[in-house]
């Protein structure tokens, strides 16, 4: 659903507030050369984000090189949980670089041992073995491998089905996109694996009936026998909408997986490390999965991810058979340790809960006020605003794009719309954001929804 942005500069009113500062043309003329160079030498798939040329970022603010600054509602796609450019993280990276060890493949290192121990200590039983990787997609691929390996061990090769959910996003690689629930992302796959099955996500909006009976009915409708299910993988909240499943549903799913020797996998790549107001997103459900997948906010900076799981599952494959070139890269481990220390010591999950409570309250007030907002979902410092066509639940990607563009022009930075039909405006600021900055940002959002929806009504 991405689109090309017009690179021609346009004048916007001068804005100078406590947290936002737009003092020049947007985009700045000098940035056009950078944008054009990227378009010339990068694939078209890299386009589609608002044309803000990042120069630096600190805390919850992003700056370009020409005096403009934005309140960041993207966290660089949910990465900067501990805040952008934290001195503690930079210092940890510099110390590791200065030590002389920049990479060591799967050979042992002290810093890797510290990180896996730190994660295992923070996670509940039985998530006590940790495999470090690089991206969220890698963790999903690993989870698929472990689910099917475990399924074969307990039920034979017929126990290979991976159940996931409509409109889910699990990554960009072959396996992760087959586990995902967005058909358009699978157009390039000519031989879809029939062992991947998607069912409706119980959001209570696009799937009205969010009881667990819907899970069992969906399997029957797809001719899937429970004995053949190797694992169920679910985003702790759906990344494209911010929607959570009911706690009762997840508790039933936990019981179902246990009774049928299937692994429950929680994709925490977006939800982990305090984002939702608890350290781990699955805490909202009162369950613990067999495998938990982490990434994005793990280091607040450098690429690193992790699979945490039951020891008997994590140890299914023999030595040397489940590795990754950059597993536990020492510089990335240093960043992750520093970031985790900040999230824990500064109790950023609690800040996400408190400040996020203000955010959620204000956004739901907008949902009541503007009929073109079909639904607001989220917890803590993540939210999704689903823009819809008048009087329907059909996504309105045009309105969502307009809201994002106008917010960026007024100093509130978001990434391009996501979710079903490209109609969801995603909000995910760093967890260090203040209540004052949230209130200022929501005031901008409210003004823009008022303008955009009134203009659409006038045209209609």
Q: What is the pLDDT along the chain (460 residues), one digit of tens a residue?
A: 567 767 666 667 789 999 999 987 777 778 889 999 999 999 999 999 999 999 999 999 999 999 999 999 999 999 999 999 999 999 999 999 999 999 999 999 999 999 999 999 999 999 999 999 999 999 999 999 999 999 999 999 999 999 999 999 999 999 999 999 999 999 999 999 999 999 999 999 999 999 999 999 999 999 999 999 999 999 999 999 999 999 999 999 999 999 999 999 999 999 999 999 999 999 999 999 999 999 999 999 999 999 999 999 999 999 999 999 999 999 999 999 999 999 999 999 999 999 999 999 999 999 999 999 999 999 999 999 999 999 999 999 999 999 999 999 999 999 999 999 999 999 999 999 999 999 999 999 999 999 988 876 665 5
| pLDDT (0 to 100) of residue 17 | 95
Which CATH code fits 87-345? 3.40.640.10
Q: Are 249 and 210 in contact (CB under 8 A)?
A: yes
Closest CA to 56 of 45, 42, 40, 67: 67
Record the tokens describing residue 310, joined without a space: 């039951």
Q: Within the chain, which residue ranges are assigned CATH 3.40.640.10?
A: 87-345
**Cα 149 from chain centroid?**
27
SS3 412: strand
Q: What is the pLDDT of residue 23?
A: 86
Residues of the chain with CATH 3.90.1150.10: 15-82+348-459
**Exposure string (b/e) for 234-260, b if CB count within 10 Å is 16 or more?**
bbbbbbbbbbbbeeebbebbbebbeeb
Cβ-based burial of 332 (10 A; exposed 0-12, middle 13-18, buried ≥19): buried
- CB distance 70 to 52 below 8 Å: yes
Tokens of 344: 């824990």
Angstrom distance (rounded) from CA 418 to CA 324: 30
What is the token pair recorded at 242?
């911010």
C-alpha distances out from residue 363 to 333, 354, 385, 419, 440, Å: 36, 15, 8, 18, 13
Cα angle 361, 239, 279 (rounded to 5 degrees) comes to 70
Query: 238 near 181, Cβ under 8 Å?
Result: no
CA atoms of 416 and 126, how far apart (whole Å) = 37
Say if strands 305-309 and 129-133 run parallel, antiparallel, or are unpaired: antiparallel
* Residue 265 DSSP SS3: strand
pLDDT value for 274: 98
Q: How many angstroms separate the CA atoms of 48 and 422, rounded?
A: 12
Its pTM stands at: 0.96
To which residue do tokens 């459900």 refer? 285
Residues 6+ apart with CB under 8 A from 263: 143, 146, 147, 150, 151, 230, 231, 232, 257, 289, 290, 291, 313
Beta strand ranges found along 350-403 (DSSP E): 373-379, 382-387
DSSP annotation of 360 reads: H
Q: Hunting for tokens 């500062």 — which residue is that?
A: 21
3-class DSSP assignment, residue 413: strand
pLDDT in the model for residue 460: 56
Please measure the distance between the N-terminal and C-terminal CA atoms of the chain and give it in whole angstroms. Answer: 24
**Alpha-carbon distance 286 to 277, whole Å?**
14
For helices 330-345 and 87-99, the axis angle rounded to 10 degrees is 150
CATH 3.40.50.2020 fits 15-82+348-459, yes or no: no
pLDDT at 271: 98
């Amino acid at each position: 659903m991405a689109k090309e942005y017009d690179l021609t500069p346009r004048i916007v009113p001068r804005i100078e507030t406590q947290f936002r500062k737009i003092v020049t043309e947007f985009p700045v003329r000098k940035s056009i050369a950078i944008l054009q160079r990227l378009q010339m030498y990068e694939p078209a798939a890299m386009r589609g984000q608002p044309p803000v040329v990042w120069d630096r970022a600190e805390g919850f603010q992003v700056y370009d090189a020409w005096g403009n600054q934005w309140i960041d509602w993207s966290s660089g796609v949910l990465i900067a949980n501990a805040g952008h450019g934290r001195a503690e993280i930079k210092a940890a990276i510099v110390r590791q670089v200065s030590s002389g060890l920049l990479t060591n493949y799967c050979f042992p290192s002290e810093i890797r041992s510290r990180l896996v121990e730190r994660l295992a200590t923070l996670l509940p039983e039985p998530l006590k073995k940790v495999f470090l990787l690089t991206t969220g997609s890698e963790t999903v691929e690993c989870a698929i491998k472990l689910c099917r390996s475990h399924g074969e061990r307990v039920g034979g090769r017929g126990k290979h089905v991976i159940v996931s959910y409509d409109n889910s996003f699990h990554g960009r690689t072959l396996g992760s996109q087959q586990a995902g629930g967005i058909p358009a992302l699978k157009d390039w796959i000519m031989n879809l694996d029939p062992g991947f099955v998607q069912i409706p996500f119980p959001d209570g909006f696009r799937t009205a009936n969010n009881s667990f009976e819907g899970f069992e009915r969906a399997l029957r409708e797809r001719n899937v026998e429970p004995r053949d299910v190797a694992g169920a993988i679910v985003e702790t909240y759906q990344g494209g909408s911010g929607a959570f499943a009911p706690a009762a549903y997840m508790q039933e799913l936990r019981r179902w997986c246990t009774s049928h020797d299937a692994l429950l996998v929680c994709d925490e790549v977006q939800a982990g490390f305090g984002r939702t107001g608890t350290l781990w997103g699955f805490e909202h459900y009162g369950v613990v999965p067999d495998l938990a997948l982490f990434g994005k906010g793990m280091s607040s900076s450098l690429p690193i991810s992790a699979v945490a799981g039951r020891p008997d599952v994590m140890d299914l494959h023999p030595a040397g058979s489940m590795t990754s070139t950059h597993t536990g890269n020492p510089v990335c481990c240093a960043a992750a340790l520093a970031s985790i220390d900040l999230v824990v010591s500064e109790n950023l999950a609690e800040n996400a809960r408190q400040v996020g409570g203000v955010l959620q309250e204000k956004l739901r007030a907008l949902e009541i006020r503007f009929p073109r907002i079909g639904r607001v979902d989220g917890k803590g410092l993540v939210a999704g605003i689903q823009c819809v066509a008048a009087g329907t639940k059909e996504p309105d990607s045009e309105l969502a794009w307009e809201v994002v563009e106008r917010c960026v022009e007024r100093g509130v930075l978001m990434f391009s719309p996501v979710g079903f039909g490209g109609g969801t405006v995603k909000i995910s600021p760093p967890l260090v954001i203040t209540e004052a900055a949230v209130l200022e940002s929501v005031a901008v959002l409210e003004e823009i929804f008022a303008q955009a929806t009134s203009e659409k009504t006038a045209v209609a």
